[in-house]
Structures are given as structure tokens and as C-alpha cells.
Amino acid sequence: MTTLVPVTYKGGIYRHDEIMDLIDDLGGYIVQKHVMAQDVVLQSFVPRDDIELIRRVAKPLAGEVIEAPLVGTEIAVVSPSLEIHHLPHIACDIAEYLRRSGAKTNMIGLARGFGKRIANLNDEERDIINEHDLAVYVLGSFEECIKQKFPAIRREIYTPIVLIGAPDREALMRVIDPPVEGYVGSVGRIMHRLKRPEELGKLDELVDEVSRVLDARRDALAKDPLSIFPPRLMTIIEDQIHEVSMLTHPTPVTVQMEGLRVKLPYDPYAPLIRSLEVVDGVTIGDIADVTPSRMRNYILIRIKPFSETRILV
Amino acid sequence: MPPLNHFVIESPDAVGREAYERITGDVLQDLDLIKVIDRLHIYVDPVMPIFIAVGLLRHMPRAIRVSDFANVNPGEKMVVLDIGDETYLAPLLQKLWTIYGKENVDQPDRFTVVLPAGVIEGEELEGLVVADPSETLYKDVIYALQYIAPEGFKVRRQYIRDGKFYYVASEDTLPTDIVETMVVPLFEKMGVEL
């Protein structure tokens, strides 16, 4: 079986359809296409052995293929609030940097996440964060505050967490109990755009930390693989439900590590999605849970593992 | 680092102290207040929890009058205002409309305002106060301090008078004697009496 690796293709809009066809022909998947003026960015999964071929084809088009460890993941960037104290710089810069590495990021500003004693998390925020593959918590400057408030804003979050704060990494590891999956220290409330080399270095460190946490999750998944590869399910839904092509969202079907978020209303479309045939006689309902998402009225599809369905598509 | 005559941040948390020094510098720079603030002393303690900022303003800008940005040319039938700087044109028009009525204020082009003669004396018009930048300056300084202070510190007390200001904020109820016990000593550290 060929291994699919996440890559980003960056190039001009001219003849980019040839690259898209090539990825398709090679058995790869394009999970997101982003057109910005004259440029095109394709977040895709391609067979490892064919990366060189894509590079060769892309060379005359001045396109480049970069390994992007976060393609096919949906990450929540959680900020204590949407006030000017925490936005825009640090949270948006982090979200943008993760996006450049291929992730689909959603910013979540908590309604009452600020303060040491008064911080809390409501059920809607909790459920939305839990719908993501990973949550990056962007906290502030004081060790004491992080120590006191973090248990409140992580309550019942089962998604892996990467914590960012101004105290150094060791201090964060010391005060957080039980430990979270990843830590990036020495980045707190920052009131300017992150552009100094040491700040960009911290963002790189964050991407490494996030990739490390997600790789660990991928390894765990490999032991009991999903019944279907999420990007493949995405193409099936896109091919068979034509309404998806009429949505104006940047990612009408968002690929996650263990499922998909389909940005269609749940009530009219869920039965249709459940009954879609994946291969002969196997429907989506057989291999996945189609549930309502807490994000607007979208549909969240959680793919069941092989051990549960005994089906591998 | 802003070129203030006195700029000190105190905190029991060394990492937080450094972070707040950067935050304060960035905010003052963003809001263009470095030229306005002469001294600033901040104490922030997350354990208590308390945030106190005390400081001095450099000089208060004076009120803006019509003669500062326009030439008043009284004629026989009308008074013509020749606007030099448009910055305060909008508040000027607002003022003129309320005083003389919209029908009496004519603006044939961007830089000219015409009033009928007789409704107003030339000198009276020249001395008309159009805007007081110190009013918004107070708001700007307090806004900057709200912006610098940790967000959860919602209980606050603020003061700005005679070029001196303080801003105290906490997550919990503030002690009634906070000004005497904590604010006055900080002013003393800057060599100023509140």
C-alpha cells in the first residue's frame, strides 16, 4: 500500500489544473485549494514515491512542493477572550502560522476565559474545542494565573492540548497538573506583530510541538486504522452531493484526522450522507457516525476504526 | 523602550515583569502617548491580585479655537472663514450649526465656510472654542492603561487631574484605603506627591 504524505503545493494559477489532475491521477487527494490573486496553494496528500514526479512537473510552472506536517488536521486556537488584550497579534499570528503549515485553524475566543479566579468554560465552547484534532491554548504572562485558571478552562477537554504562555517551558510543565500534551514557553501576551527572529523561532517551535503531538496520535491510529481515509471520504461526499460545490466556505468539507466536518445543515442532509454508498454495499452510515456539530448547524462525521466495523475501504 | 523620564515596572513575577515592560512600551507606542506621558510607574502582582499604574503627564494641550486653524474675513454681507487645517473642521461645523442654525452656515467648498454678516462678530468667532484635546487625552490615557492591565482585572478605580493620574485594577473588590496604602507610595517613588 502506498503511503500518502501531506504536502503543500505553491505556484501560479497558470496551468495549476495540470498539477491538480496529476495529484488526482497519482491517487492523491487535494483537501484544500486556495487561490490568492495570481497564486495557488494546494494542501494535499500525495504518494511518497511520487513527490519527485510532482516536483519535476511543477518545475517549468515555477511551482514548489513543500512538506506540510499539518495538512488534514483541524486545530482550535483558543484565546481567553476576543478583547484587544489578546487579539489580534498573538492569537492571529499563531493561527496564520499553523495555517501555513497546512492546518485548518479555527479561532475560539472564550466568553469568560480571562482572569485568574473568574475564568471558566461553557458547554458550547467545550464541545466545539472537543470537535478539533488539537487545541492550542494561548495564555498570558503570569505563572500564578496560568496555574490557577488552566484547570477551569480545560475541564472536560479530551482533545490534545498544546499550551502557550510567557513562563518558560519548564515552569509551565511544573505548574500544569495533570500534564498536557505539549508546551511552548516564553510567549505571552504580545502587543505587536510577531516578526523578530526569536519570535518567529518560537512559532516554528510551536509547529514542531503541534506536529509531534499529532504524529503521536497518528501512530496510535495506525495501530487500529480508520475504516476509510478521511480525504477519500471527502472526495466521495464532494462527488455525490453537488450542493457542496455551491458553498462559499474556504473548506466546505473540512478534513480532520479522524473525520470530516461537512458545512451543510444537519437536518436535511444527514440522512442523505448516511445513505451514501462508499463502495459496493457499504454506506457512510456503516463506517462512520454522522452527528450534528456544535459549530453552527454543520454535520460532524466521526469515522469508526477497523476494529469496530471490520470494514477497511 | 519609550523615552520617558521615569519608566519602571515592578512585579514579584520576574517573567511577568519583563512581559509587562514590553506590553506597556508597545501600547504607548501604538496609541502615540509617549510624547504625552512624562513618568510612569506600574506595580502588578498576580497573587494579590492588583495592578497599579501611576504617572505624570508632560503638558496638557490647550483648547483649540477657530483662530488656530482658520482666517476669519468679515465682509459687509457675510463672514468668510478660510480653513487652513481640516482636522477640526467637523467639530467646527457642528458647533456653528448648533449656535447659528444649519440654514445660516454655508460651505461652498472644502476650505470655505460662509456665515451671514450680523449674526456674529469677527472677534467673537475667532475666540470660539472648537475642541479640547485634553478631554480625549484623558480618555486615551485611561484607555491605554485598561489595555495594558490584565484583562480579568475588571474592578477598577481611576483618577486623572492636574497632570497626575493613577489607575488601580483588580479581579477582587478593591480595599477602600488602596490609594493611601499603595498608590501614594508609588507616587513617592517617582518623587511626586499626590
Task: Quote the ipTM score.
Answer: 0.85
Q: Is B2 on the interface with A (CB under 8 A)?
A: no
Which grid cell sits at B132? 479640547
Which grid cell sits at A56? 519535476
A162 to chain B, minimum CA–CA distance in Å? Answer: 20
Every domain of chain A and the residues it spans? 4-67, 74-221, 230-309
Place domain A74-221 in its CATH homologous superfamily.
Answer: Response regulator (3.40.50.2300)
pLDDT value of position B121 = 74
pLDDT value of position B124 = 82
Q: Which of B107, B131, B155 is the last residue of a domain?
A: B131
Based on C-alpha coordinates, what's the Rg of chain A?
Answer: 20
Are residues B56 and B141 located together in one domain of the fold? yes
Q: Across residues A59-70, what is the average pLDDT?
A: 92
Q: Across residues A231-260, what is the average pLDDT?
A: 93
Contacting B residues, span 132-161, partner chain A, CB-CB under 8 Å? 147, 150-154
Structural domain contains residue B98 = yes
- List strand residue ranges (DSSP E) for chain A, in order: 4-12, 29-36, 39-47, 64-67, 74-79, 104-109, 134-138, 161-164, 182-184, 253-255, 259-262, 277-279, 282-283, 288-292, 299-303
B35 to chain A, minimum CA–CA distance in Å? Answer: 19
Shortest CA distance from A149: residue in chain B: B152
**Closest Cβ–Cβ partner in B16, B30, B154 for A141:** B16
pLDDT value of position B100 = 86
- Topology agreement, domain A4-67 and domain A74-221: no
| Confidence at A6, pLDDT banded by 50, 70, 90 | very high
Q: What CATH class has A4-67?
A: alpha beta
| Confidence at B61, pLDDT banded by 50, 70, 90 | confident
Q: What angle do CA A301, A306, A310 make, to 5 degrees?
A: 115
Query: pLDDT tens digits for A247-306?
Result: 998 899 999 999 999 999 999 999 999 999 999 899 999 999 999 999 999 999 999 999
Task: Inform me whether the pLDDT recorded for A245 exceeds 70.
Answer: yes
**Which CATH number fits the domain that encloses residue B77?**
3.30.1360
Are residues B12 and B53 located together in one domain of the fold? yes
Which residues on neighbouring strands pair with residue A162, listed in sequence order? A136, A182
Task: Inform me whether the pLDDT recorded for B118 exceeds 80.
Answer: no
| Confidence at B2, pLDDT banded by 50, 70, 90 | low
pLDDT value of position A228 = 94
Are residues B15 and B106 located together in one domain of the fold? no
Q: Across residues A9-26, what is the average pLDDT?
A: 94
Residue A146 CA to chain centroid, in angstroms? 25
- Measured between beta carbons, the chain B residues lying within 8 angstroms of A85 are 147, 150-151
User: Could you give the CA distance from residue A244 to residue B61 in angstroms, rounded to a whole number?
Assistant: 59
| Confidence at A26, pLDDT banded by 50, 70, 90 | very high
- Measured between beta carbons, the chain B residues lying within 8 angstroms of A190 are 22-23, 26
pLDDT value of position A1 = 61
pLDDT value of position A175 = 94
Are residues B17 and B69 located together in one domain of the fold? no
pLDDT value of position B63 = 86
User: Could you give the CA distance from residue B42 to residue A141 in angstroms, rounded to a whole number?
Assistant: 15
CB contact under 8 A, A191 and B172: no
Are residues B91 and B145 located together in one domain of the fold? no
The fraction of chain A above a pLDDT of 70, given in percent, is: 100
Residue carrying C-alpha cell 472654542:
B129
Helix (H) or strand (E) holding B24: helix B14-30
Which residues on neighbouring strands pair with residue B39, listed in sequence order? B6, B56
The fraction of chain A above a pLDDT of 90, given in percent, is: 90
**Closest Cβ–Cβ partner in B26, B27, B152 for A116:** B152
pLDDT value of position A206 = 96
CB contact under 8 A, B151 and A191: no
Query: pLDDT tens digits for B140-178?
Result: 999 999 999 999 999 999 999 888 999 999 999 999 999
Are residues B112 and B71 located together in one domain of the fold? yes
Task: Inform me whether the pLDDT recorded for B119 exceeds 90.
Answer: no
**Closest Cβ–Cβ partner in A83, A117, A141 for B15:** A141
Structural domain contains residue B40 = yes
Are residues B178 and B119 located together in one domain of the fold? no
Structural domain contains residue B93 = yes
| Confidence at A113, pLDDT banded by 50, 70, 90 | very high
CB contact under 8 A, A144 and B13: yes
With beta carbons less than 8 A apart as the criterion, state whether B131 and A126 touch.
no
Are residues B126 and B151 located together in one domain of the fold? no
B60 compared with A200, residue with greater pLDDT? A200
Query: pLDDT tens digits for B39-54?
Result: 999 999 999 899 999 9
Q: Across residues B51-70, what is the average pLDDT?
A: 88
With beta carbons less than 8 A apart as the criterion, state whether A192 and B26 touch.
yes
At residue A176, the 3 state secondary structure works out as coil
User: Could you give the CA distance from residue A113 to residue A80 in angstroms, rounded to a whole number?
Assistant: 4
Task: Inform me whether the pLDDT recorded for B58 exceeds 60.
Answer: yes
A97 to chain B, minimum CA–CA distance in Å? Answer: 22
User: Could you give the CA distance from residue A276 to residue A285 in angstroms, rounded to a whole number?
Assistant: 8
Are residues B28 and B56 located together in one domain of the fold? yes
Contacting B residues, span 64-93, partner chain A, CB-CB under 8 Å? none
Q: How far is CA A47 from each of CA B107, B118, B179, rounded to the nearest angstrom?
A: 70, 87, 68
CB contact under 8 A, B19 and A143: no
Helix then strand count (H, E) for chain A reads 11, 15
Structural domain contains residue B1 = no
Are residues B126 and B143 located together in one domain of the fold? no
CB contact under 8 A, A115 and B30: no
- Measured between beta carbons, the chain B residues lying within 8 angstroms of A141 are 13, 15-16, 19-20, 23, 150
CB contact under 8 A, B16 and A85: no
Query: pLDDT tens digits for A47-59?
Result: 999 999 999 999 9
pLDDT value of position B92 = 92
At residue A144, the 3 state secondary structure works out as helix
Domain residue limits at B105: 64-131
Shortest CA distance from A185: residue in chain B: B15
Query: pLDDT tens digits for A144-180?
Result: 999 999 999 999 999 999 999 999 999 999 999 899 9
Q: What is the mean pLDDT of chain B?
A: 90
**Closest Cβ–Cβ partner in A86, A115, A171 for B171:** A115
Q: How far is CA A264 from each of CA A254, A286, A299, B94, rounded to the nearest angstrom?
A: 11, 20, 6, 50
Task: Inform me whether the pLDDT recorded for B18 exceeds 70.
Answer: yes
Residue carrying C-alpha cell 504562555:
A165
| Confidence at B135, pLDDT banded by 50, 70, 90 | confident
Are residues B138 and B55 located together in one domain of the fold? yes
Query: pLDDT tens digits for B25-37?
Result: 999 999 888 888 9
Q: Across residues A126-145, what is the average pLDDT?
A: 95
CB contact under 8 A, B23 and A167: no
User: Could you give the CA distance from residue A39 to residue A57 in angstroms, rounded to a whole number?
Assistant: 17
pLDDT value of position B1 = 54
Q: What is the mean pLDDT of chain A?
A: 93
Instruction: Choose the mutation target among A79, A82, A85 for the interface with B, i.e. most B CBs under 10 Å.
Output: A85
What is the total count of domains within chain B? Answer: 2
Are residues B48 and B85 located together in one domain of the fold? no
